[in-house]
Amino acid sequence: MTTAISRPRRRQDRAGYLFLLPWFGGMVFMIVPFFASLYLAFTDYDLLTPPTWAGLANFRRMLDDATLHQSLKVTVIYTVVSVPLSLMVALAVAMVLDRGVRGLAIYRSIYYLPSLLAGSVAIVMLWRYIFGYSGVVNDFLAWFGIQGPGWASDPRYALSTLILLHVWTFGSPMVIFLAGLRQIPAMYYEAASMDGASGWKQFRSITLPLLSPIIFFNLVQSLIASFQTFTQGYVISNGTGGPGQSTLFYNLYLYQKGFAEFDMGYASAMAWLLLMIIAGFTVVNFLAARYWVFYDN
């Protein structure tokens, strides 16, 4: 009896490890920098001369580093606004596509495309063309006699423009939502329709609960990715985090500190602080999940 259960389980385990293999492979190259950065976080390291032990000095400096606080603010605002927005858009589009649109594969690819392009220089050019002071948006506003601001060059609006760019790249959560929606048995909806439940009621009582594990997965993934935003900010602002410090993402500031300002010890400490923050958010996420994620098995 016991062997009958454990054999397929062992086979499953083996398959699991097989799938994990690439990760273990990559880990070999990560483990050294990972621990090296932990050490460097407690040193004064300018890249050019050997690191010297500094104890907690780097972490103490963080307390009154106004730029660090600004970069945290930018990153948190960006995450808190853009993650829910992009997940909502992704779910909405996935539900429309799930209705059985003809040429689903084509639509799916088209909507997925921005996710691949968002960090590219071509998008930056396009973004300027649309949101620049003399861009398409302001040309449109000019018809109504309004002179719009520089949506990308004005520190009051630059971050919002980047959030829009993030929301536009809803492709990857959308693909996952789409797969999740396909898993919900059609009979639930048929039964609900029979009982006269409205579309909204069906969404609230069937789609949302049954999709909640997928939403949770997407939420955790997006949150982690959003805190680590680097490429979009880097290409849009040429690595400066400008205008002013309005798009200075945490990782952008970390990069500036480490590579442009010869302060790799501080940059390493920043990396570990970010790890703590992300870990904290993820733990809260998992704890909260108990109250709203519903597993149908």
Partner 1 sequence: MDTQAFSRRRALVLAGTAGLAATLPGCGRGFGGKGADDGKIEINMVWWGDAQRAEFTQKTLDLFQTANPGVRVKTEYQDSSPYKDKLAARFAAGDPPDLMAMRFDSLREYADRGTLLDLAEHAQHLDLSGLTAPARALGEVGPQIFGVPSGLNTISFVVDKALTDKYGVTIPNGDTWSWDDLKTFAAEVTRASGGKVYGANFEPWTVANLLVFARQRGEDFFTADGRLGATAGTITAWFDLTEGLRAAKAFPPAGFIDQNNGASPAQSYLAKKSIASQIIPSNNLLGYNQACGGNLVMLRIPGETTRRGQSIDTPALWSVAANSKHPMETLKLLNFLINDVEAARTAGATRGVPPNRAVAEQIAPGLDADNKRATEFLSALQNEKLPPSYPYPVGASKLTNILKTIGTEVEFGRLKTAAAGEQFITEARKAIAG
Q: Of 149 and 203, which has the nearer Cβ to partner 1?
A: 149
Q: Of 177 and 250, which has the nearer Cβ to partner 1?
A: 250
Q: Of 166 and 257, which has the nearer Cβ to partner 1?
A: 257
Tell me the closest approach of the beta carbon of residue 24 to partner 1, in angstroms. Answer: 11
Q: Of 114 and 132, which has the nearer Cβ to partner 1?
A: 132
Tell me the closest approach of the beta carbon of residue 176 to partner 1, in angstroms. Answer: 15
Tell me the closest approach of the beta carbon of residue 163 to partner 1, in angstroms. Answer: 16
Q: Of 133 and 168, which has the nearer Cβ to partner 1?
A: 133
Peptide bond preceding 185 in cis form (omega within 30 of 0): no
Alpha carbon distance 121, 235 (integer Å): 7
Tell me the closest approach of the beta carbon of residue 128 to partner 1, in angstroms. Answer: 7
What is the torsion angle, in degrees rounded to the nearest 10, for the CA atoms of residue 200, residue 206, residue 207 and residue 212?
Answer: 130
Tell me the closest approach of the beta carbon of residue 262 to partner 1, in angstroms. Answer: 6
Shortest CA distance to 83 belongs to which of 192, 277, 220, 284? 220
The answer to whether the CB of 42 falls within 8 A of the CB of 60 is no
Tell me the closest approach of the beta carbon of residue 242 to partner 1, in angstroms. Answer: 5
Tell me the closest approach of the beta carbon of residue 171 to partner 1, in angstroms. Answer: 18
Q: Of 4 and 146, which has the nearer Cβ to partner 1?
A: 146
> Which residues bind to partner 1, rule: CB under 8 A?
23, 26-27, 29-30, 33-34, 36-37, 40, 46-49, 128, 132-134, 149-150, 152-156, 220, 224-225, 228, 230, 236-240, 242-246, 251, 254-256, 258-262, 264, 267-268, 271, 274-275, 278-279, 282
Which residues 6+ apart lie within 8 Å of 282 measured at CB? 220, 223, 224
Shortest CA distance to 280 belongs to which of 227, 233, 229? 227
Q: Of 184 and 213, which has the nearer Cβ to partner 1?
A: 213
Diameter over CA atoms, the chain: 80
Q: Of 111 and 255, which has the nearer Cβ to partner 1?
A: 255
Tell me the closest approach of the beta carbon of residue 87 to partner 1, in angstroms. Answer: 17
